Structure 1
Amino acid sequence: MAFLTMEIEPTPSTSKYNEKIEKVLQKFLKPNFVVKNDVYLNLFLTHLIGKENNKKLIYNKQLNEQCSQWIIQAYHLWDKDKNKPSIPILSLVLNLASHLSTDEQVFVRLNSQNVYESIVAIAQENGNEAPAAIVGYITLVCSFLEHKSGLQWVLATNYWTEIVDLGLKAHTLYIRQKAYEFVIKLLQKTVKFNKSFCTNLIKLLIKPLTDALNSSLKNIENVNTEVVNKELFESLLPTLTFLSEVTESLLKNYDKDCLQIFLELNVLETLQNILPLSQIEDFSYMIVKNWLNVLVFKFCVKLEGVKQIRELQTPDNKLFFTIMISELEKVHTRFVLKICHHAQTLWSYSSTRLPMCVRGGENIEFQNQMLIIQLMPVLLLTCQFLGNEKASSVMLNDDYRRCYIHKWVTISAIRTIKICFKWKELLEKKKDLIDDATFSFQLILKSKKLLNREKAAMFFQPLVYCLRDSLTHCELHPEVKSCPRFIRFLDSLIDTLIDVVTTFDITWKDSIETISVLKLACEFLNYPLLCNKLVVKGLKLLDMAISRYMSPDMVLLMDNHRDSVVAQTGTLLYAKCHDGSWEIRDSALEVVYTLSSNAHSKYPAFKNILLDVELPQLVLKMALNDGEYYVRASAVKCLQELIQSSEIWELYLNMDHFCDDILDIFQKETEGIVRKEAAELMYKIVKFYEFPEETQHRLHDVMTYAATGDLHWEVKLYSLKFWFKMVEKLLMDEGMIDRKFPSVTFSKEHRKIVTLNDVEVKRRIIKVLNQLSDIGCLAVLKDAVEDECHIEVSQAATDFTRRLLDLFKKYKFSEPSPYPEVFNVPSTPCNASSELGIITPPNSVCGQNNRSKSNSDSLPPTEATDDLMGKEAEVFTDLTNVTPMIYEINADKSDSSNADKILEDLLNSNDMALLQGIYSPTDEPKTTSIQIKKKSYLPPSEYLNFIFNSPHCSKAEQTKTSQSVDEFDSLLDDILEEYGTSDVNSMDCY
């Protein structure tokens, strides 16, 4: 039976690379070829095998032949000259050959020329110094298992034994993992037609176990069976790890034939007999882990077809719980926790094949038993934190806790309850129980992928009670707040709480304990002398509690928080925003952001919490003056939400220089992340409000610079959003709704209903174009489209411009003619009475003529348009003589000639005293602003010419651009260019 790989016929999209690929491959075989950085090679291989776009170019028939021939050429070259290839090139050959060899025809061809044995031998020679070569070698042999010819080759050679040996002895984890995968696949492929081979392979794997057992039995008189044998553990650990990976994978895929061999070879009995030899916790865990893998399969076979069983009839479960108790008596606490987690994993693989266990009509789920045992250290911390007497009182008087404990008892099996009572006696004596609880939290996070929402809520409840008891413990013993063990515990506890809630979206419907989380977070943060790490975690918990409405009044959708715990957060956050640690200030601002977001969306009363403690003013100061740029960025991000509340916006407007202070960020801030958030803030402001008239001129200057001159691409991108919103607002002012003009609209200008025919719509669009030209928007859009440095910026501007082009075409705009038309005018500052968008500079003759001859406000829309068309020739002569204006805005207005003279004097002077007079180490740094230059105004006619003629705006160019980004063709060009120049071999630009 042949396993043939599907061939892809040559197409223009695949065959176009062949010539360049050939050149690249030949360069790789040059004797003096040295790779300083193998990123190029990885990208090259990634494109060939289709990981980038799921198009496996290597399966193109022509390219397949080309790569196969290259591998043969490499083999002959290395075999003839006895030259060792570089490790990156050898790894490339091995990986490329492994993908080609999944095709049986390619395998037969290459094998007939003895290619495989040669390159495998080279890989083995380099194995000690190059793990990548060994990984490639294992991957290559593993690819042979995809077809019959390759499988026969593997069985006929001894390479499989070498790979098994690598799985046992290799120092590199990745090599061992590859060896495990190979053995698993080999067993799966051969068990159907060569069971004896699989039996021999498994015997080879378990041989160290049987040898160790026989050796121990011979020496039974000389050693005690309970003596800790560290050497035995170290010698058996590779075997136990190998077996664990193999059996778990086979169980996951339920390869019944393979697993049956393990039962036939009495692996269960062998492991059971070795277990008494272990007094090392990790040794016991590895033995029982393997034993459990095979035992679960045995359950599946014995109970196949059975739908339901009684609790006491569960086969072999008594032995499992007996082993658990035995390990508990050895005080192997972490063994129990880890084996419970592993048992849950195996249950997730096999639960559909095992019957349901029933007691009194109630389901007794195996997974619940493991969860209960796994949480025992967490539950018993209450006794250790509060003392047995107080803990008993709390349990009796807290109705919710009693209900919770009762629920756990109800779903527990009898054997589980026995284990819990047995373990309780042992755990209460442990002084390091808090460490076991911390370890339990880590396993909870690992177990979350095995849980549903209901079981996650079962995990969540004891976590809340544990946090509450921890706070009580802090009150009783304040010194523990500085204990590293307690700090690690609280850190892990809060992380687990946050993770469980966010992953499963736990609400009060799932657990009533959720409504106390906010109160607990506030209590925690009010404790003095907490370390910075815990304060940050507490603020994250507070943020989660607010964002998920974890307080009684928020659950009930009450908008009055004066007497609730939420009202305390304002004062708390104000204090944390003044903390000396920037991490705490930054985390506090995240909570302020959440409060601000809810203040304008769901809970308007939140704004009173912010205003009462003057948080808006504080956030603004932090945005402008904080010494850490991360904090400044977070503060500006908070402003984006704060300004959306009208009361807070009015508060900011009434402050001196608010708008100027925000605009100063673009000129004075050195960090791009802060300027990016400032650009987003400007977008939010223009989206919801209007800037004061006196700041409009500087606003447009600064945002022009931010969108075209800033060095940070994200600043440019978010500044473009500001300009896009400006265009949308102006079009909306002219009646556009949902990107189109309705048939009628109310005209504020004429105070009546106006019919929007094509002529009227065109008039309004022309008016908008002139307004956009006046504020510099058209020039910004043009520059952004032509931005060659930042693809994201150019793409965003192109997409928006294309939408404008569609709008113009929809309303029958055409490419402007060489002779003057209504939009062929330079744009200069205008007022509301400018005639149909014709904008004239102040004090110009044309402007005076326009003001004296006509006023568009006095005419109906259509008459005004006709009147304008008749006047075009008259006004155009004067208008075309107007030079487009260029503004230069300098932050420092010092005389440039004087500055040049000073620089010349400095360069020509040998007097060190002169330099000392200019700079002194004791001088405080002064904030200097960036000079913003050359703000240009683009006339509407030029802009229309640009978008109608620019290749960037055509749909064909859009398709071409999207295909060219991250193209394989571009990668090939880069490789060829790097090696086209002599003595250039950097290959590190990716």
Structure 2
Amino acid sequence: MNRADPQVLVKMQLALQKLSTCFDKDGSKRPSSSDVIEDDTILQKLHTYVDTLLQKNDNVTGVTWAQSSGLIDFVYKALDPNVVNIPDSAGLIAFAIKVLASLFCVEETFDNFADDKIMMDFCIIWPNIRNDPTLTSAALNLIESLLKHSSGLSWLLKNGVWEKLLLPSLRSPSIFVQRNGVKVIASYVLLVAETEHFKTLIKDLIMICEKFCELRQHVNKTLSEEIRQSCLCVLYVFKEIFVRTLGETSMHSKIEEAGGVYGRLLRLIERQPPVSSVTHATDVLILSALHSFQEKVMEYGIVEQFLIDTLCTDMLSLAKALLEKGYMESFFRSSVNMHKYWKLLCTKLEKNRNISLQSEESVLHILTSLQVTPVLVLYQDQGCINPTKEKILKKWNEGIHSRINIKESIKLEATKVEKHLKTLLEKDKNHAVRMAVVCISALINTADHLREICAVTIFQGLIFLLCLMTNQISLIRFHEGLQKTTVEGLRVLAVKFEIDWRKCFVSVCLMGLLCDVMYIPNITTQVKVCTFKAMKACVSGFIPPVMSMLVNSEPQKANSLEHLGQLLSVYLVDIEWEVRDSALELLITCMTLAKEKYPYFVDWVFRYKLNKAVLTALDDNEGYVRASAFNVLSCVVSIDKIWSELENENLQHRSLAVVLWEGDTPVRRAAINLVKALFVANKFRDDDVNKLVINIIQKSTEDTDDEVRLSALEFVHAHIQENLQKSGMVDGEFPSVTFSRGKITKLDQNEVKKRIFSAMKWMCDIGYLNCLLICVNDPVTSVEQKARQIFSFLNNLFNKYDIKINSTGMERKFLCNMNSGIKSEKTSSSSNPELKPDDCVVSVAGQNVKLTADTYELDRIDKAISDILHSSLLDNVSSIKRPTAVSSDMSKTDPKMLTITADDVPMRKASIPIVYLLQSAANFSRRISTINCTDDLTVVRLLSLLDDILLDGCKVEDSDGDDQRLHDCY
């Protein structure tokens, strides 16, 4: 996008002048509604474009362009102290502040603005700003941009932004403003860490936190909740400061000198604050202890054993204090974060100081032993444990403690804390169950940061808990929350750490235990769905190495996969559609394995009549279930043994009918996948492909849903590759010798070019090039990239075999250097005026383009391509009205008798000469072309937005896609 574009400059000036009429002080009456932009979405988009333009490096500074476009004058008017009181002006003022923030981000210095009137006016309106969340959010963005300049930081300190704007942002009614305020305050505090201001700021934060905790005990419930949230924000600030400096700079001593956080937060817990406050306070305490440890490690330059002992002692003291005050839940929720903080500390210390902590993990093992205590208590207290299981459990527990390498006195203290926790949990079994759910949920959320050995330990504990649930005399057999979290925890850990029998021997029992869970009476829908997801992870994860033993084996009644087949035969017809859909998703995984390397699943499908259940699901009332059924069939149509049972089900015409008439998007997408699978497996007749499939797929490239369009493009790509393979291409290239129909054929360079030319001409004649030209400017990135990927594939093929447009001579003929017969034919047709093709008109992306007789001239080609793709009418391709899917009632027709005829399908796209394919492939395979097209589209959208503001300031239709709409909402 060129910010020097005259259209952009002129329309920007006019639009800003129109917006500035809201600030006219000559009249006392309120501006008319047409002058006030009430739709903040428009201003959000305008700021996005302005920010992009300011970042452009066109040898013009951001300030210069802002002055020439009228932005500076607009900001002066918007920040006038008299404007802030005008009704409905908050959106425009916020826009002006954000523009100023963007300007400071691209400028190298703030000195030119330090004493400017614009900054003085900004200071004056601070009291009004902090009362409005929209203005506060914009002001925080401006402060954040000023913090990037040393002179900007000095200006903020001199004008008292801490008391006037930053601290009040923590009391904002908007949670988004509070979060942004936390981030900006943390940045501000860290920038003044080496100055005398640091102690004052830390003292203020600690004092505010203490005052908030004291005040909330004396106010009503509503105000108490607001104060609690503000107190959490203060704790978030400390947490942000500690996390940012962990492994880099020690903040423990500095903060302790400023008033101390560790001791004061411990005293704060004694006032019985809410659990949420204690949880976040515990996070800060853990980080403070880590910073103290980090400070000593940096000082010594090596990890001494007494430092590890001290850290473990601090963690045990914190755990003991929380348990004594009754904050067991806070301990479980916060202690799991130690895994994340320790991983961050290890990474940064090794990177910055070359200090390794990989072998020093005793503190993690101590906390892990405490975190699995609820599981241990539940397992031992159910009366289901026999001597063998007790021996296994004891060995598992001893394994945890054997990895703790610290002083014996500290080990003894850790044992005392564990026994105390165990005693508290044994007093109330319901409380133990709830704590188990809390702990497992917290561990799931931090699974990305767990050490593998800790993850395996937790996995083993969850396996014990799952065994307990499947026991008929267990008291926790029917606890829904515990069932769900346990199964989900096992799935997450198994997938994340690829746990198999080599890492954890009990993992071989997981599939059988999950099958047993499904037999629990009155199991809820959510637990069924979670269990099927876990089974899917088992089948696609660590079951396949064991599954090789099942190939060509006789049916085994005790095999967990046989139990799975029985379960699927029941749950594929479950009353809840979520369960049916989850069962089909699991079946997709099994059929994918059957197709690739495990034929065991083929007989397994017939044994439990799952193929019939899938065919029944094609007519399910729920669209997602129908889509999953089509996806199952996509996996199996290439398996001959299964296809022999499906051959008479008329899947070819049924899938095409769904693509044409189905109203649910997921079903259309899945049906296209089935059409592709049937085509690749050669299940369509050639006549059906030419008359039905191609036309329907081309229609789908203009579908209202981007994923359907993407699936249609994938079919186009597969069809092009299949046609090239018929011409002799193998693995992306043409071999010099081919064996076909019992004959050995040698392919010289001219023969290869002839075959490629024939395949590409076929592609252009049937209208595929037309579809690609439409999709290459699709507003959804994935669709656009797929179209460009196809062009890139073709361009690589052209370059590899030197197929190009010959630009020598006046005629500039298209030459492929084929055999002499082709050459003579081309020469005669180009030299004889009577043999020139007739003029024709084709429709490309909804635009009529005239192809003249001298189409092969290179300059005409460039001009026509430019007309198609870069004209003002077609730049915004997203404005094309895509056809709405029309649902057709096919229930009255027997699916086996359903027939699609040529009269039912839409017209095929117009053909385009092959020369356009060569030029398009060259253009769209270049990275710079993508950037230019995107910039051109951005300019068109910006001009359209400015036109809307100039017309009436009404809302505009958003054509940027879901991502942009979501950004605007926030």
How do 1:712-861 residues align onto structure 2 when only pairs under 5 Å count? Answer: 712=705, 714-748=707-741, 751-757=742-748, 760-761=751-752, 764=755, 772=762, 778-786=766-774, 790=778, 800=790, 810=801
Contact 1:247 1:293 in 2 (8 A): yes
Whole-Å separation in 2 of the counterparts to 1:213 and 1:707: 60
Change (3 A) 1:321 1:947: closer
- Give the match for residue 395 of structure 2: 403
Instruction: State the TM-score, normalized to the length of structure 2.
Output: 0.76
- Give the match for residue 656 of structure 2: 663
- Give the match for residue 245 of structure 2: 253
Whole-Å separation in 2 of the counterparts to 1:211 and 1:600: 66
Whole-Å separation in 2 of the counterparts to 1:664 and 1:213: 65
Change (3 A) 1:499 1:29: farther
After TM superposition, the structure 1 stretch with the greater mean CA deviation from structure 2, 576-585 or 699-708, is 699-708
- Give the match for residue 508 of structure 1: 501
Contact 1:686 1:725 in 2 (8 A): no
Change (3 A) 1:421 1:555: farther
How do 1:372-451 residues align onto structure 2 when only pairs under 5 Å count? Answer: 372-384=369-381, 386-387=382-383, 390-391=384-385, 393=387, 395-397=389-391, 399=392, 401-412=393-404, 413-430=411-428, 431-451=430-450
* Counterpart code for 2:76: Y
Contact 2:581 2:628 in 1 (8 A): yes
Pairing 1:134–2:136 present:
yes
Change (3 A) 1:407 1:636: same
* Counterpart code for 1:176: Q
SS in 2 for 1:746: strand
Output one character per residue of 1:820-859: Cα deviation in whole Å (capped at 9) or x when no partner.
xxx9xxxxxxxxxxxxxxxxxxxxxxxxxxxxxxxxxxxx
Whole-Å separation in 2 of the counterparts to 1:790 and 1:209: 52
Contact 1:168 1:238 in 2 (8 A): yes
Contact 1:637 1:681 in 2 (8 A): yes
Whole-Å separation in 1 of the counterparts to 2:796 and 2:313: 75
Contact 1:49 1:58 in 2 (8 A): no
Contact 1:707 1:715 in 2 (8 A): yes
- Give the match for residue 521 of structure 1: 514
- Give the match for residue 864 of structure 2: none
Change (3 A) 1:658 1:124: same
Pairing 1:321–2:316 present:
yes
* Counterpart code for 2:71: W
- Of 100, 110, 115 in structure 1, the residue corresponding to residue 103 of structure 2 is 100
* Counterpart code for 1:404: W
Pairing 1:29–2:20 present:
yes
Output one character per residue of 1:918-959: Cα deviation in whole Å (capped at 9) or x when no partner.
xxxxx99757989635645978xx6436546x7687559995
Offset, 1:975: 1.0
* Counterpart code for 1:634: S
Whole-Å separation in 2 of the counterparts to 1:956 and 1:870: 30
* Counterpart code for 1:544: A
Contact 2:94 2:135 in 1 (8 A): yes
Offset, 1:547: 0.9
SS in 1 for 2:483: helix
Q: Provide structure 2 residue ranges, at least 5 long, that are not aligned to the other structure.
A: 23-33, 216-220, 405-410, 808-813, 842-888, 961-970
- Give the match for residue 969 of structure 1: 939
Whole-Å separation in 1 of the counterparts to 2:226 and 2:707: 54
Whole-Å separation in 1 of the counterparts to 2:644 and 2:331: 61
- Of 586, 589, 602 in structure 1, the residue corresponding to residue 584 of structure 2 is 589
Change (3 A) 1:768 1:406: same
- Give the match for residue 893 of structure 1: none
- Give the match for residue 872 of structure 2: none
* Counterpart code for 1:426: L
- Give the match for residue 644 of structure 1: 638
Output one character per residue of 1:241-277: Cα deviation in whole Å (capped at 9) or x when no partner.
5155225524641575754343224524444455444
- Give the match for residue 631 of structure 1: 625
Contact 2:634 2:673 in 1 (8 A): yes
Pairing 1:687–2:662 present:
no
Change (3 A) 1:760 1:613: same
SS in 1 for 2:470: helix
Change (3 A) 1:496 1:356: farther
* Counterpart code for 2:528: V
Contact 2:771 2:909 in 1 (8 A): no
Contact 1:14 1:60 in 2 (8 A): no
Whole-Å separation in 2 of the counterparts to 1:951 and 1:864: 28
Whole-Å separation in 2 of the counterparts to 1:410 and 1:124: 61
Whole-Å separation in 2 of the counterparts to 1:744 and 1:972: 55
After TM superposition, the structure 1 stretch with the greater mean CA deviation from structure 2, 719-728 or 966-975, is 719-728
SS in 2 for 1:469: helix
* Counterpart code for 2:605: L
Whole-Å separation in 2 of the counterparts to 1:350 and 1:769: 57
After TM superposition, the structure 1 stretch with the greater mean CA deviation from structure 2, 303-312 or 500-509, is 303-312
- Give the match for residue 91 of structure 1: 94
Whole-Å separation in 1 of the counterparts to 2:602 and 2:6: 63
Offset, 1:591: 0.8
Instruction: State the TM-score, normalized to the length of structure 1.
Output: 0.75
Whole-Å separation in 2 of the counterparts to 1:972 and 1:879: 44
Q: Over the residues paired in the alignment, what is the CA RMSD in angstroms?
A: 4.7
- Give the match for residue 205 of structure 1: 205
After TM superposition, the structure 1 stretch with the greater mean CA deviation from structure 2, 571-580 or 18-27, is 18-27
- Of 166, 169, 181 in structure 1, the residue corresponding to residue 168 of structure 2 is 166
Whole-Å separation in 2 of the counterparts to 1:666 and 1:522: 36
Q: Provide structure 1 residue ranges, at least 5 long, that are not aligned to the other structure.
A: 1-9, 216-228, 817-822, 824-860, 885-922
SS in 2 for 1:518: helix
Pairing 1:114–2:105 present:
no
Which structure has the larger Rg?
Answer: 1
SS in 2 for 1:71: helix
Offset, 1:649: 2.3
Whole-Å separation in 1 of the counterparts to 2:690 and 2:943: 47
Pairing 1:622–2:617 present:
yes
Whole-Å separation in 2 of the counterparts to 1:961 and 1:90: 35
Contact 1:702 1:932 in 2 (8 A): no
Contact 1:522 1:569 in 2 (8 A): yes
Total equivalences in the alignment: 855
- Give the match for residue 179 of structure 1: 181
Whole-Å separation in 2 of the counterparts to 1:366 and 1:788: 55
Output one character per residue of 1:598-618: Cα deviation in whole Å (capped at 9) or x when no partner.
001121211111122232233
Whole-Å separation in 1 of the counterparts to 2:687 and 2:101: 69
Whole-Å separation in 1 of the counterparts to 2:708 and 2:687: 24
- Of 470, 492, 498 in structure 2, the residue corresponding to residue 499 of structure 1 is 492
- Of 327, 331, 340 in structure 2, the residue corresponding to residue 332 of structure 1 is 327
After TM superposition, the structure 1 stretch with the greater mean CA deviation from structure 2, 333-342 or 754-763, is 754-763
How do 1:213-228 residues align onto structure 2 when only pairs under 5 Å count? Answer: none
Offset, 1:684: 2.0
Pairing 1:536–2:529 present:
yes
Offset, 1:964: 2.3
- Give the match for residue 890 of structure 1: none
- Give the match for residue 909 of structure 1: none
* Counterpart code for 2:631: K
Whole-Å separation in 2 of the counterparts to 1:759 and 1:316: 76
Contact 1:166 1:176 in 2 (8 A): no
Whole-Å separation in 1 of the counterparts to 2:793 and 2:653: 33
Output one character per residue of 1:779-807: Cα deviation in whole Å (capped at 9) or x when no partner.
34435535699567687567646755776
